Amino acid sequence: MSTKKSQDNSVTASHAFLWGAATAAHQVEGNTHNDWTLWEREHADELARSAMQQPDEVREKFPEMTCRENYLSGASTDHFNRYKKDFQIAADLHHNAHRFSIEWSRVEPRKGVWNNEAIKHYRDVIDTLKSLHIEPVVTLYHWTVPVWFADMGGWLHPHAHIAFEKFVERMALAFPDVKFWITLNEPVRFVYHGYLEGRRPPGRKSIFLLIRALHALVKSHRLAYAAIHKRCDVAYVGIAHDMMDLHGIARYIVRPLWNRWFLNQVQSSLDFIGVNYYFSQGKSEFYSDMGWRLVPDHLESALMEVKRYRKPVIITEIGLADAADKHRGWYIASSVQAMKRAMERGVDVWGYLYWSLLDNFEWDKGYWPRFGLVEIDYKTQRRHVRSSAFIYRDIIDSWHE
Ligand code: BGC
C-alpha cells in the first residue's frame, strides 16, 4: 500500500481500500486498570438496578443486564492474550486493515514511567497484523486514561495536553512504521457523556467543564498531530469523529455543534477524517438490540457532510448490537452501498472498518450488547464467527473483483 502527499500537503491515495474491523483496548483486552475500571466498580450496582426499569421483553432477552458483573470489564474477551488467534480470524475473513487502541495506562502506568513490556506487547500486536497483511490503524485515546492522569484532574488539568503529547511522542518513537494514527476517538461524545450528562467518567455535569475539556482535547490533538509527524515519515493522522444524521430542528441546532465544531477546530491538523456512524433520525422499521434505529442508507449523508473539508475519509466505526445476527448482514451491505454513492459524489473514502471484530464491553451498558462479527462466549472465551461476518467477507471479495 502506498499513499503520497503532494506539495500542497493534500493526499492522494494509491493504495488498496482498507477493509476490516475495529476494537478498543478497554473493551476487549481484559484486566485493564484505568479511570473506567474505578468508575465501573463504583457504579456497577446502580447500573444493574437501573436496568430493572427496562421493558420485560428486553430483560428476558438479556437477563445479564440486571447483574452487577455485566458492568465490570474484568477479563473481557482476553484479547490481550488471544490477539494472534483473533487476528487470524480477521485475516480468514479477508480483512486487510484493523483498528485497535493502545491502552495508555499500560504503557505509562505512572507519570513519566514507561512499561517496556507493555510497549513490546503493542509492538507484537502491530507485527502480527503486518505479518497477516493487515494494516494497523492505531488509536491513542479511546476514552480511558491512566489513574494518575485522572487523579491530576484529567483533561481539565492545565497541562493535560502536555501529558498526552508525551505519551503520543513515546508511541510514535516506538512505532514509526505505523501509517494510520487516530489521536482521539469521538471527543464530542466523550465530553457530552462525561462532562455534561455525567453518566460516564469523570461524571461531571457542567457546560463550563465540557467547554474546557473540549478545548483541552483540541489542543491535545494538535500537539499529538505534530508529535507523530516529527517521528514518522509515513504517518497519516486523524481523529475518529462521531457523525450523527440529524433531521428537523436538530439539523440546525445540534448538527453544527456535534458534527462540525470539533472538525472546524482541528481541520488544519488532519490528514484524514475518521467517521464513526451509528445514529440517524431517518425512518426505519428496524432497531438494534439497544433500540437504535437502523438507517444504513444515511451513511451517505454523513459522508457528504465531511466532503467540505476536502480530506480523505476512513469509516473508522459502523455497526450495531444484534445478538441474533438478524440485521447485521443487510446493514453492512446497505451501508457499503451508501458509501459507494458518496464516493460517486466525490467523497474520497479510503476504508470501511466495522465495529467491532469481537463482542465486547459496551461501556456503561456492559457486556449484554453484542456488536461483534465474532461472538464471544465470556465463560469459555470460545470464539464463534457469525454468519454476517461471511456476508461481509463476500462484500470485501466482490470489491476487489
Ligand atoms: C465508540 C465505541 C462504542 C461504539 C458503540 C462508539 O461511540 O467509539 O467504543 O463501543 O460506539 O456504542
Q: What is the mean pLDDT of residues 143-153?
A: 98
With vertex at residue 168, the alpha carbon angle to CA 166 and CA 170, rounded to the nearest 5 degrees, is 70
Confidence of residue 252 (pLDDT cuts 50, 70, 90): very high
Ligand 1 lined by 186 (C-beta under 6 Å) = yes
How far does residue 326's CA lie from ligand 1's centre (Å)?
20
SS3 30: coil
Distance CA 195, CA 106 (A): 25
What's the whole-number average pLDDT of the chain?
Answer: 96
Confidence of residue 14 (pLDDT cuts 50, 70, 90): low
Distance CA 299, CA 307 (A): 13
pLDDT given at position 13: 54
pLDDT given at position 1: 44
Q: Which residues pair with 353 in a beta bridge?
A: 20
How far does residue 314's CA lie from ligand 1's centre (Å)?
16
Question: Best substitution site from 137, 139, 293, 362 to test ligand 1's pocket, by max atoms within 8 Å of Cβ?
Answer: 362
Nearest to 98 by CA among 317, 371, 353, 375: 353
Nearest to 131 by CA among 166, 98, 103, 170: 98
Confidence of residue 245 (pLDDT cuts 50, 70, 90): very high
Ligand 1 lined by 185 (C-beta under 6 Å) = yes
At a CB cut-off of 8 Å and minimum separation 6, what does 217 contact?
155, 184, 187, 190, 191, 262
Taking 60 as the threshold, does the pLDDT of residue 23 lie above it? yes
pLDDT given at position 15: 73
Confidence of residue 6 (pLDDT cuts 50, 70, 90): very low
Taking 70 as the threshold, does the pLDDT of residue 12 lie above it? no
Taking 60 as the threshold, does the pLDDT of residue 5 lie above it? no
Ligand 1 lined by 289 (C-beta under 6 Å) = no
Let me know: does 341 contact 304? Beta carbons within 8 Å: no
Confidence of residue 398 (pLDDT cuts 50, 70, 90): very high
Cβ-based neighbour number of residue 131 at 10 Å: 11
How far does residue 295's CA lie from ligand 1's centre (Å)?
17
SS3 281: coil
pLDDT given at position 9: 44
pLDDT in tens, 281-309: 999 999 999 999 999 999 999 999 999 99
Confidence of residue 392 (pLDDT cuts 50, 70, 90): very high
Nearest to 212 by CA among 156, 140, 287: 156
Taking 90 as the threshold, does the pLDDT of residue 401 lie above it? no
Ligand 1 lined by 101 (C-beta under 6 Å) = no
Distance CA 186, CA 24 (A): 12
